[in-house]
Amino acid sequence: GSSSGSKLKVPELSINGAQHVVQAGQTLNLTCRGEMVHSWSLPETLSKDSKRLKVIKYACGRNGKQSCSSLTLSRTQASDTGNYSCKYPTSPAKKKKESTVYVFINDTGNPFIEMHSDIPKIIHMTVGREMIIPCRVTAPNIAVTLKKIPRETLIPDGKTIIWDSMKGFRIPKATYKFIGLLSCETTIGGHTYSTKYLTHRETNTIFDVQLSTPRLVKLLKGDSLAINCTVTAAWNTRVQMTWTYPGEARKRGSVTQRIDRKNTEANIFYSILVVDKVRDIDKGQYTCHVKSGPSIKAVNTTVIVYDKMFINLKRRRKTALEAVAGRKSYRLSMKVKAFPSPEVIWLKDGLPAAEKCARYMVKDYSLVIKDVAEEDAGNYTIILSIRQWNLSKNLTVTLTVNVKPQIYENAVSSFPDPNLYLLSSKQVLTCTVYGIPQPKITWMWYPCRQNHSKTRHGFCSYTEGSFLLKAGSNIGNRIQSITERTAVIEGKNKTASTLVVAEAKSSGIYSCVASNKVGKAERNISFIVT
């Protein structure tokens, strides 16, 4: 049996010391002895499946109570250089229970483990943080020079630049002077070897974060949800993208991430969240979080999950729908809640509205009437349908188009001649009026001033006050009667109001005023008695 974890001895390697050199092509032999079963960790460049590698485990020590393993690597090559560690798989103690030796595979033709002679390797750098130029060598005594192209030599001083044959050049606190193209160089047997690195300062500039979905996503149970979060960031910016969403704890979603470096001015990062066959637990807020250093941004969308398809249709207002002729536009709209979005058809008096008139436009669930005219009055029906489920709803509303009062005689005589009436004569004055709703008609009297010359231009241009007239009024001239008669003229309900002057005596102005809720119109009749 093995000792308790806290007293467990570190496994022992057959090679003492922190480093060991093997000539390329030779065989590397390592043995590890431990108090329990152990494993080997190898340089990243060496596969555990390599046919050149053999590991044999066996019992050893007094009474076979210890565990040993031998590692044999044949035909060694430069890329096998690195750390070889023997360790226990798990250890309850805080300190790692492992032994490590760094093995150099000395190859005079390959002084550098990694060669980047044509295309430099990118090294990401953050100002003030440690940066390593990883030009590791295949032998500990190889002299390496660090150069900044074109001409500057960077000399290791043990503080700002430190040479380590196992790591390369270590720069504890990188500054702007290390930005650019760097080269590690060594000369062996009169031949110079060079490997290049391009340092690249990371920034934290996030230009934009967008989701592929609208701010509200509506789905049916069983549908799939896919949200693409796209981040546009400065070219040398790295980002972390994470999601928070309702089914996160149950791992309802799968996330795929990729980067598009084709754009020379920016990096574009994608994170796609997919939830298969959504359920009630998947409804709620989905947020894409983006972090780059201290820069943090987030965008979200809300997901609604419905059990089944539906259409709810209601009137927006309980009051009568009214528009005014001449208005630039009028919108007929209903309260609609539906999923999925239904097909929309509007009818005007039973016929498709958009086909009936070019001034009618369907926008979402509304019908917009441009340049409202009197003929736009009528019954409007909205039909909503989801054909694949044979589901439909309809609603009919009546639109009244109100028209400002119009007096027919005003249109006929824009510039009337002076109206002269014989003294004591009986006169009949008429106003023919149209409007919706039907206008109220009143007659007014504006007497001429006493000192005004009646014959001056034949007009009474100055008056004293106004008087509302009724049948039997004696103000100015006696009014015999005021009557109204409604008739359909040119397809319109027009009202003719007739005022009968029993005996012409006084000069003035008779005014016929037609008014309704939209406005008013008036006709002034000069009444000059001669």
Extract the tokens encoding 480.
């015999």
The rounded distance, in Å, linking the Cα atoms of 124 and 308 is 52
Question: By the 8 A CB rule, do 461 and 528 touch?
Answer: no
DSSP bridge pairs for 335: 314
Domain 12-106 matching CATH 2.60.40.10: the answer reads: yes
Question: By the 8 A CB rule, do 373 and 338 touch?
Answer: no
Extract the tokens encoding 56.
């044999």
CATH code of domain 206-306: 2.60.40.10
Extract the tokens encoding 132.
């390593």
Domains 206-306 and 413-529 share a fold: yes
Domain boundaries, the chain: 12-106, 121-201, 206-306, 312-403, 413-529
Q: At the topology level of CATH, where does 312-403 sit?
A: Immunoglobulin-like (2.60.40)
CATH pick for 413-529 out of 2.130.10.10, 1.10.10.10, 3.20.20.140, 2.60.40.10: 2.60.40.10
User: Which CATH class, in words, describes the domain spanning 121-201?
Assistant: mainly beta
- From 515, 518, 524, 520, select the one nearest 441 (Cα to Cα): 515
Q: Model-level pTM?
A: 0.52
**Beta 162-164 vs 28-34: how paired, if at all?**
unpaired
Task: Fill in the DSSP letter of residue 308.
Answer: S
Digit-by-digit pLDDT tens for the chain (530 residues) are: 444 445 678 888 998 888 999 999 999 999 999 888 888 999 988 888 889 999 999 999 888 888 999 999 999 999 999 999 998 877 555 456 889 999 999 998 899 999 998 888 888 888 888 999 999 999 999 999 999 988 888 888 888 999 999 999 999 998 888 888 999 999 998 999 999 999 887 777 888 999 999 999 999 999 999 999 999 988 777 789 999 999 999 999 999 998 887 776 778 999 999 999 999 999 999 999 999 878 899 999 999 999 999 999 999 877 789 999 999 999 999 999 999 889 999 999 999 888 888 899 999 899 999 999 999 999 999 999 998 888 999 999 999 999 999 999 888 765 555 678 889 899 999 999 999 999 999 999 998 875 544 444 455 666 667 889 999 898 889 999 999 999 988 888 899 999 999 999 988 899 999 999 999 999 998 888 88
Tokens 């109100």 found at: 402
